[in-house]
Amino acid sequence: MKKTLYIPLLAFAAACTSKNENKDNMRTDLTPPVAPIEVKELTTHGHTRIDNYYWMNNREDQRVIDYLNAENEYYQQMTAHTKKFQEELFDEMKSRIQEDDESVPYFRNGYYYITRYEKGKDYPIYSRKKGSLDAKEEIMFDCNLMADGQKYFNLGSVSISEDNKLALFSTDLIGRRQYTLQIKNLETGEILSDKIENTTGGGTWANDNQTFFYTKNDEVTLRSDKIYRHELGSKSAKDVLVFHEKDETFNTFIYKEKSNKYLIIGSGSTVSNEYRFLDANTPKGEFKLFQKRERDLEHSISYYNGDFYIVTNKDGATNFKVMKCSEKATTQENWVDLIPHRKDFFVEDIEIFRNYLVITERNQGLNKLRILSWDKKKDYYLPFNSETYVAYTTTNLEFDTDILRYGYQSMTTPNSTIDFNMTTKESTVLKEQQVLGGKFDKNNYTEERIWATAADGTKIPMSMVYRKGMKKDGENPVLQYAYGSYGYTIDPYFSTSRLSLLDRGFIYVICHIRGGQYMGREWYENGKMLKKMNTFTDFVACSKHLIAQKYTSADHLYAQGGSAGGLLMGVITNLAPELYKGIVSQVPFLDVVTTMLDETIPLTTGEFDEWGNPKNKAYYDYMLSYSPYDNIEAKSYPNILITSGFHDSQVQYWEPTKYVAKMRAMKTDKNYLFLDTNMDAGHGGASGRYEALKEVAKVYAFMLDLEGIKK
């Protein structure tokens, strides 16, 4: 579940066993764990559900730990014959990456900032160089040293004071996304005594270099609800509360807009926003309300030269438009159209420069970058001619430049970072992702976009990639991936690890189902709340199309998704188990009704406008109709692998744990059912890059083994 999207850092494969029992490798001497049954009656709207595993909702219960350890042990023993293959896959995938890699430097306030990796080390090193790339490197944070001795480590964010002397940084040592804020003196290397617990991880400096603002989480629900002001050298207990977001369906945050003039406090829910702004030179002043929140009025704001620029759905602009207003009169009656609403173009974002406005749009699913000069003498799109690709603006922190930095990649084309001169239209490729090992040639692969027809006649696009020479004979193994929630779009990206599947005959497919925004805002609106079933049936329609067109067959089709995409996996497992050889659900949201009824669970209240509030009977009944945990039946299911994180704050560990326990008790087949819980991590899995890659290899080996592919 939950607002934070889970996508594997490296393209995870769906991994499962054969629909038919794989007797060549399956051990028959091992008995899977059996969870104790304790009947719990849950009654809502006069309807009673029986939950035999509700007792698992207790992280402190030793029985829970014992059961998770037993499931992990069972999984390890049942897949022990793939250990060597896992190691080979890990080495193969590792050999393709540039281990001593570094980011393209970006310039801000007199310094070039660089993130780099050293060979053999798991974590990044953050450094900078003053004035020139030839200057001496200053290492700000070596995460390898900071992570030493920790089972999990994440550097959440780094914010540099305007005088370049101090770095506000945050760390998470559990994986539950509860960050500790600290300050480092970049001149002396000293860590100051200021220390703030239980934050969202971000911090924003005022322009006086003595004051910063941060957001705290509610200790129970983890909802970001309070903004505080902190002065250097003071105790956090004396920090001033400057904003409290009391509406439990909203989260709050703070940032400094690009020109550094204003500090912005934002509050957001699924269907509305609200902002307040304050001159960053007067941090003790009062924040001014930009526009009072209204249900179904969504907007984001940017500032430039006396005016605010607003991306909004105001006045029925379903696909959003760009408006502007004076900084002196910001309420919506003062907003005027700059780029009117267009039905076929979805406005996703804007980037402001001194001479240009850059608009990120989407048309027929494809990214468009529109360049518009303020004097209106230039208005054009960057040319992208591929059938399916991803293009996006990246780090553009400077106002006074004509250079736009953007990224480009496709399923066959490694990611490139490009500087584009908006005046001369000249492009400079600063970096193209290297694929080492000497075996990769993009011309050996084909990418295409095809369309399935959903039950209601809607055409559903799919992006796919495979090795040239593929035959449509129904014998190809296919990995079908999707997410389909929160309006988040999964674009057709490049992956070096995915090559290990493609080179072994797999076709990789991304389904752009409703619930995302690939085809515009209505694509999202038609895949949430009381239209959520479209997300699931779209995926099934894509599966049926792939089989009908002989890309694959039910004996070779795998499906994969994580978090809300794990919900998708759970639903399609119940809806159409006969279509899939195997399912992989990663940190999956599976117990929809119980979770959405419990407002003490992290992030639940902010989800009501995504899924609905089951305290309303109409939503209760609708959720109940698809909730994977509630719809498990005594029937045959595909092979299933589920991964989880014990410290997960987005989807509590007990959802996949209860699901597996109930599935074990009810399913009638002898196919694989595995639960692999990382006891030291949260929603995003292992924190180190090599550890994350080992997780990929583990899943790949599992699936390839079931396809009879041994090397």
- Catalytic positions are 563, 648, 683
User: Helices 83-96 and 689-706 sit at what angle, rounded to 10 degrees?
Assistant: 130
The residues pairing with 659 across neighbouring beta strands, listed in sequence order, are none
Strands 211-217 and 191-205: antiparallel
Strands 179-185 and 191-205: antiparallel
Backbone angles phi, psi at 530, to 5 degrees: -80, 10
d(CA 463, CA 467): 14
Longest Cα–Cα distance of the chain, Å, equals 76
d(CA 252, CA 263): 13
d(CA 34, CA 91): 36
C-beta of residue 692 within 8 angstroms of C-beta of residue 686: yes
Half-sphere exposure of 299 (CA within 13 A, CB side): 28
C-beta of residue 593 within 8 angstroms of C-beta of residue 47: no
* CA angle, residues 100, 104, 108, in degrees to nearest 5: 130
User: With the C-alpha atoms ordered 599, 603, 609, 610, is the resulting torsion angle positive or negative?
Assistant: negative
Contacts of 564 (CB under 8 A, 6+ apart): 1, 2, 5, 6, 483, 484, 485, 486, 589
Structure tokens at 420: 């584009």
Instruction: Tell me the one-letter amino acid at 682.
Output: G
The residues pairing with 255 across neighbouring beta strands, listed in sequence order, are 264
CA torsion, points 680, 682, 687, 693, in degrees to nearest 10? 90
Backbone angles phi, psi at 439, to 5 degrees: -110, -15
Q: What is the C-alpha end-to-end distance of the chain, expressed in Å?
A: 35
H-state helical runs in 97-208: 143-146
CB atoms within 10 A of CB 62: 8
* CA angle, residues 8, 10, 13, in degrees to nearest 5: 75
Backbone angles phi, psi at 293, to 5 degrees: -60, 140
C-beta of residue 558 within 8 angstroms of C-beta of residue 703: yes
Can you say how many angstroms the Cα of residue 503 is from the centroid of all Cα atoms in its chain?
27
C-beta of residue 338 within 8 angstroms of C-beta of residue 318: no
d(CA 242, CA 448): 51
Nearest to 202 by CA among 143, 246, 251: 251
The residues pairing with 360 across neighbouring beta strands, listed in sequence order, are 349, 369
Question: For tokens 């430039």, what's the residue?
Answer: 304
Contacts of 144 (CB under 8 A, 6+ apart): 118, 121, 122, 123, 125
